[in-house]
Structure 1
Amino acid sequence: MLRPGELAHIKEEAEVIPKHEIITALPSWQSAYNPNRPIHTRHGSQDPVLEKDVFFKEKIGGTPKRSRSRSSSLDGEENTHHSRMLFWLIICLVVLLILAIVLGAVLGTLLPGGSNAPPDPSVTEIPAGQTPTTTPTPTSGDGRSSPTPTPSMHIASLSVTGWSIEGPEGYFAVWLFWQNSRGYLSRATFNSSTGNWTRVSNFVKAKSGTPLAAAAFTTEYYKDQPNFNFTGAHHQAQVVYLDEKNRVNEWVFTDTGPALGEAGSLNDQKYMAHGDTQLASYWPNIIYQGMSGEMREARFACYERETCWNDGVLATTQPVNGSHMAMIPFHDELASVGVFYQEEDGRYLNFVEDSDRATAAFSDRISLNSSLAAFATTRKSAPSQSSLDKYLLWQSDDDKHIYMAYSDDSSDWKGPVTHPALAGAEAGTALSCLTGMTFTNFSLLEGTELSRCYFQTGAAVREVSFDGTSWDIVSIVPIEL
């Protein structure tokens, strides 16, 4: 038991002992990371970095207390030791971070599909007569051809549009669209005044395997009409496609605008299509299947300012889901248009919109699920009539040749017929044909320079033309897959 003097002596000693600094401790990650604490991210890294040091001073019991097991000198050594540990820990973390960034970049470059960067859009001028490089046939070690050819990429859809200009300086233009192997849309444009092609690649990403539908018009259609605004352009072309959410989108090009084009006003409508839909278009109409498989029409008509797209259901019979479609004018000055499609029972019909009626179009001769294309020309047998000559093309399942049915008078459809120029198509080829422009008070120009069709042959796209009697192979289109 302590005497009163001893107790006072101990108290005096306690008063002269210096107070200990706050104890430094290495906290656990759970205690160091506060989700409400502001963070920032290092450039090039996805790792969050705390704004404040993860090391902090901890008070025990709310008041500073002296350690009972260490002296003041040991406390200083402990602080120095912790500082060194913190320094080397930071160095190690920085080195590991740099190694991770470098390794990720290398692997992303070397591994297939490692780079997700979109390809750069490009514009390439191709002189007349130049043909694209096709997919080579692999060779054996001694240089001889291997018996197995390299398979070519299958083109899911092709679509073409164009126009003619009359006069001594007249010309015609052809715009062909497709989707390349990276999922981006491209086009090849031919101008007869130069004889050259222009290829514009990677201008917009689309749903993989998207259907395509192209159309064109002259802005003269809407001259002096209210609610239309095409200032500075004479012609406009568009390609319609699906995005990843199966929304119907468009990309538009004007003859005075950028070569890469731009998104069209249709995109703002967010029209939802059936996942298996095909597309067909002739300005100002776009045909697609809705969510329930019904045939729908989006029509460009500015009844009110800034309200130009109008959508509704066509009075057709029920088509099979994913039916191939084609759309062309049936009468001059767009007095009527016809839509070809496949019914649920497999018959192919042509629906004439102005009469709300559908008739069979070689329903027992067109292969089921065949690609379909159509075009129209002025009627040679009766030029004074408004009826147009109509041509329907498809690929046979048997010989893979492309066949044509036609209607060039008031009688029933004739054919089918084929031609050597239509042979050699890839099985299940995409197929597209071109019709010139007609609109209210604008007649379809006479002539057959725009009577052209396009289909895949191996790794190339063949262009063929029809003079009203026979077919000719024109060229290989310089596409890039």
Structure 2
Amino acid sequence: MREQQVPEQRTLNGNGSMSPNAWKAGVGSRFTSYWPSVIIQDDTSQLQEIYYNGSWSQNNLGLACQNHSAFAEIPVSIKGGLIGAENFIYQRDDQKLFIEGRKDSTASVSTVTIPAITLPAEAAIGAFSIPRSTASNSAMNNYILWQNATGAIQMTWEDDNTGWRTSSTPASLGIPDKGTGISCLTPTLWAVGSLQPGYSMARCYYLVEGRIREIQYDGSNWSVVGNVI
């Protein structure tokens, strides 16, 4: 694995402090990241976390996933995200959509209960979260996008206290290319400002006919912003 520091690439050859550790992901592993955490899959299909807390360290999360699973990572709350409280979303080795969460960066993970959903092998998965209020311990509205057997995008979400639900997305979003990833935005908690309620940054990206498509959610409906390139 290599860390690229773009603003300093001319003087430091782009190598960040992670690079000298020479950690290796499994062949065909996908990646996800929510700063300061990076998730990869090793050669035994276990999820490994690379976490920065003054320096980089590697930790086996003890989660077995489908070979070449996609995964996503979102903060549990505004306050929790600052100490590594995350939800890890992935395809388990039985192809079920699965979520494991933790209270801080050193805590063990525990299962988050969601309805049983079987995904196609190596299905694309993306996720984002938005605070329900400005309170630091506010519950989050959580959204997971995944690709079903026909290639269409489904959304599994929770945005109130009634639990998780799943629905189809509009046909206008298109059919993502086979083998594409789905990347969604959750603003960082490490910026000057805190993560705010609101859907202006609720955007996801995937390939359609080889072009990167940008879509946006407003809390009720999806729309196509356009093709990035």
The whole-number CA distance in structure 2 between the counterparts of 1:383 and 1:392 is 22
Superposed, 1:237-256 pairs within 5 Å as: 248-254=1-7
- The residue aligned with 2:96 is 347
- The residue aligned with 2:139 is 387
Q: What is the deviation of 1:365?
A: 4.6
1:264 aligns with 2:16: yes
Q: Which amino acid aligns with 2:144?
A: L
Contact 2:66–2:121 (CA under 8 A) maintained in structure 1 = no
1:449 aligns with 2:200: yes
1:375 aligns with 2:116: no
1:313 aligns with 2:60: yes
What TM-score, normalized to structure 2? 0.85
1:338 aligns with 2:67: no
The SS at the match of 2:18 is helix
The SS at the match of 2:20 is helix
Which structure would you say has the larger RCO, counting Cα contacts within 8 Å and 6 or more residues apart?
A: 2
The whole-number CA distance in structure 2 between the counterparts of 1:442 and 1:329 is 16
The SS at the match of 1:421 is helix
Q: Per-residue CA shift, 1:54-97, capped at 9, x if unaligned? A: xxxxxxxxxxxxxxxxxxxxxxxxxxxxxxxxxxxxxxxxxxxx
- Note the residue ranges of structure 2 that are not aligned, 5 or more in a row: none
- The residue aligned with 1:291 is 43
Q: What is the deviation of 1:301?
A: 1.0
The whole-number CA distance in structure 1 between the counterparts of 2:211 and 2:191 is 37
Superposed, 1:429-468 pairs within 5 Å as: 429-439=180-190, 443-468=194-219
Superposed, 1:67-466 pairs within 5 Å as: 248-254=1-7, 262-302=14-54, 308-316=55-63, 318-333=64-79, 334=81, 336-354=85-103, 356-379=109-132, 382-384=133-135, 385-398=137-150, 400-439=151-190, 443-466=194-217
Q: Which amino acid aligns with 1:453?
A: C
What TM-score, normalized to structure 1? 0.43
- Note the residue ranges of structure 1 that are not aligned, 5 or more in a row: 1-247, 303-307
Q: What is the deviation of 1:267?
A: 0.9
Q: Which amino acid aligns with 1:252?
A: Q
Aligned pairs, how many? 219
Contact 1:349–1:361 (CA under 8 A) maintained in structure 2 = yes
* Change beyond 3 A, Cα 1:441–1:330: farther
Contact 1:340–1:351 (CA under 8 A) maintained in structure 2 = yes
Q: What is the deviation of 1:443?
A: 2.7
Q: What is the deviation of 1:314?
A: 1.0
Q: What is the deviation of 1:362?
A: 4.3
Contact 1:278–1:288 (CA under 8 A) maintained in structure 2 = yes
- The residue aligned with 1:31 is none
The whole-number CA distance in structure 2 between the counterparts of 1:396 and 1:267 is 36
- Superposition RMSD on alpha carbons, in Å? 2.3
Q: What is the deviation of 1:310?
A: 1.0
The whole-number CA distance in structure 2 between the counterparts of 1:365 and 1:348 is 6
Q: Which amino acid aligns with 1:323?
A: S
The SS at the match of 2:26 is coil
The whole-number CA distance in structure 2 between the counterparts of 1:325 and 1:362 is 18
The SS at the match of 1:390 is strand
Contact 1:421–1:471 (CA under 8 A) maintained in structure 2 = no
The whole-number CA distance in structure 2 between the counterparts of 1:441 and 1:475 is 29
* Change beyond 3 A, Cα 1:342–1:360: farther
Contact 1:325–1:339 (CA under 8 A) maintained in structure 2 = yes
The whole-number CA distance in structure 1 between the counterparts of 2:25 and 2:207 is 26
The SS at the match of 1:415 is strand
The whole-number CA distance in structure 2 between the counterparts of 1:472 and 1:446 is 19
